[in-house]
Structure 1
Amino acid sequence: MSQPVAIVTGAARGIGLATTNLLLGEGWRVAMVDRDGDELSASAGALTDVLALPYDISDPEQVTRAVDETRAAFGRVDALVNNAGVADFGPIEETDFARWRRVMETNLDGTFLMSQAVTRDLARQGGAIVNIASISGLRASTLRVAYGTSKAAVIHLTKQQAAELGEHGIRVNCVCPGPVDTKLALAVHSPEIRAAYHDAIPLNRYGSEREIAEVIAFLCSTRASYVTGQVIAADGGFESTGVGLPALREAGPA
């Protein structure tokens, strides 16, 4: 079949599920990968043209099974969205090696393993990899020594992949979301934190899961056929403000 196929990891909820829904609306078939089997079943149950794969991308054997089953069911892979991630925050002195590895094995190792597993498939007709990093990979912040470092590594991995895989017709790009209105953010961000983010973001609001998905879907599509090796901050302008103070932005020309 000529209908394109995408693999989306971390697809049971949040940005991964929003991306899945958007791609389905654009005529893709989607292999939804998530280690939370119950949530994945609930999310995939109402959808058509999907394959639910309850696998953990930090495990090389499960990665192989996920890709093999996608290939068997759909016959091709045209895009990979490396969205699955672990957000485990804490002070440096409280980040033991177990916490460090828990973050790295999904955020970095899983992204590497999934990308490597689909390279042969993508090279057949040309395809795209979209890695999901974070604004925390572009600018340092407290409590994110493992998370921020993992996402910075994903950003550089994207550039390495783009440089090497371009000759096979494979485009690789990275999306760095800023604060997004996910269920997790709503649960853990106090009114004070939300107000501080609003003050620091030029668009003065959180993004939506759908807004991030729109960027991802564009990079998967042939509309982005000459775009590779790029890092796109979908963050309402948060990264561009650097360490500038909101009060100074309101002061007007000096």
Structure 2
Amino acid sequence: MSERPAAIVTGAASGIGAAVVDALRGRGFAVAGIDLVEAGGVDHAVRADVSEPAQVASAVDDVRGRLGPVHAAVSVAGHYEMAPVDQISVTAWRRMLRVHLGGFVNLARACLPDLTAHRGALVAIASELAVGGGDHDAHYAAAKGALLGAVRSLAAEVAPVGVRVNAVAPGPTDTPLLAADSPWRASEYLDTLPLRRLALPHEVARCVEYLVCDAGFSVGDVVNVNSGAVI
């Protein structure tokens, strides 16, 4: 058992997830990473598919046994792809929902007993596309929009027992999820942003850190980190 409070981050192996791990460890948490591949830089790594409820429940039990009860949980795991709506298969629609919405719900359900006991925090990584939509992003935007609905509803449900549920909705962020030839990296897009650049993983992670550690009055809020794409 760790003497530090335990936190769980899904999608911890790279990108925003890895940055969140670093931020929370810097605030004194013992951080477990849940991912399809083994995450580095964590206090404990568990390999699991966040879209599978049984795997997430088992992973959280593992973390609890190694690090102690969960005081904070951050749902980062996800994937991104672009396609015209008439070329999005039923399988792709379902996978997008299972990973983004299902991954959050599975983590929340597994962690809520601990979060309730310790008046903890749960944060989800959404997307500015959940608010503004995007060309060729229908299934991704729909999944992230559903995620925001779940965050706000769960926030209202568990706030009376002391659990704070919030979200961070980044714009395009400089992570491996964005291919080198992604239109989000093109100067034609970046020039439309007030800051003229992508968000950086550590900037998103600092918002998560704030919601977990400092935002004691935030419930059901969405912090937008998008270089001014949605104002």
TM bracket (short chain)? over 0.9
TM-superposed deviation, 1:194: 2.2
On the 8 A contact 1:88/1:103 being kept in 2, the answer is: no
Q: Report what 2:117 is aligned to.
A: 124
Judging changes above 3 Å, is the alpha-carbon distance between structure 1 residues 157 and 90 closer, same or farther for their aligned structure 2 residues?
same
Which of 81, 88, 101 does residue 108 from structure 1 map onto?
Answer: 101
On the 8 A contact 2:119/2:161 being kept in 1, the answer is: yes
What aligned pairs does 1:31-46 form with structure 2 within 5 A after superposition?
Answer: 31-37=32-38, 40=39, 44=40
On the 8 A contact 2:82/2:137 being kept in 1, the answer is: yes
Q: Report what 1:181 is aligned to.
A: 174
- Structure 2: which 5+ runs fail to align? none
On the 8 A contact 2:101/2:147 being kept in 1, the answer is: yes
Q: Does 1:212 align with 2:204?
A: yes
Q: Secondary structure at the residue paired with 1:130? A: strand
How many aligned residue pairs are there? 230
Q: Does 1:24 align with 2:25?
A: yes
On the 8 A contact 1:129/1:173 being kept in 2, the answer is: yes
TM-superposed deviation, 1:126: 0.3
> Residues of 1 paired with 2:131 and 2:26: CA distance?
31
Q: Secondary structure at the residue paired with 1:31? A: strand
Amino acid at match of 2:92: R
Q: Report what 1:249 is aligned to.
A: none
On the 8 A contact 1:202/1:236 being kept in 2, the answer is: yes
On the 8 A contact 2:185/2:198 being kept in 1, the answer is: no
> Residues of 2 paired with 1:133 and 1:193: CA distance?
19
- Structure 1: which 5+ runs fail to align? 241-254
Amino acid at match of 1:229: G
Q: Secondary structure at the residue paired with 1:102? A: helix
Judging changes above 3 Å, is the alpha-carbon distance between structure 1 residues 110 and 184 closer, same or farther for their aligned structure 2 residues?
closer
Mean Cα displacement is larger for which, 195-204 or 122-131?
195-204
Q: Secondary structure at the residue paired with 2:70? A: coil
On the 8 A contact 1:78/1:128 being kept in 2, the answer is: yes
> Residues of 2 paired with 1:160 and 1:104: CA distance?
17
Q: Does 1:238 align with 2:226?
A: no
TM-superposed deviation, 1:188: 3.1
Amino acid at match of 2:217: Y
Of structures 1 and 2, the larger Rg is shown by 1
TM-superposed deviation, 1:196: 2.3
Amino acid at match of 1:179: P
> Residues of 2 paired with 1:232 and 1:156: CA distance?
14
Q: Does 1:72 align with 2:73?
A: no
> Residues of 2 paired with 1:141 and 1:205: CA distance?
18
- After TM superposition, which residue ranges in structure 1, 4 or more long, deviate above 6 angstroms? none
On the 8 A contact 2:5/2:68 being kept in 1, the answer is: no
Which structure is higher in helix share? 1
Q: Secondary structure at the residue paired with 2:223? A: strand
On the 8 A contact 2:80/2:177 being kept in 1, the answer is: no
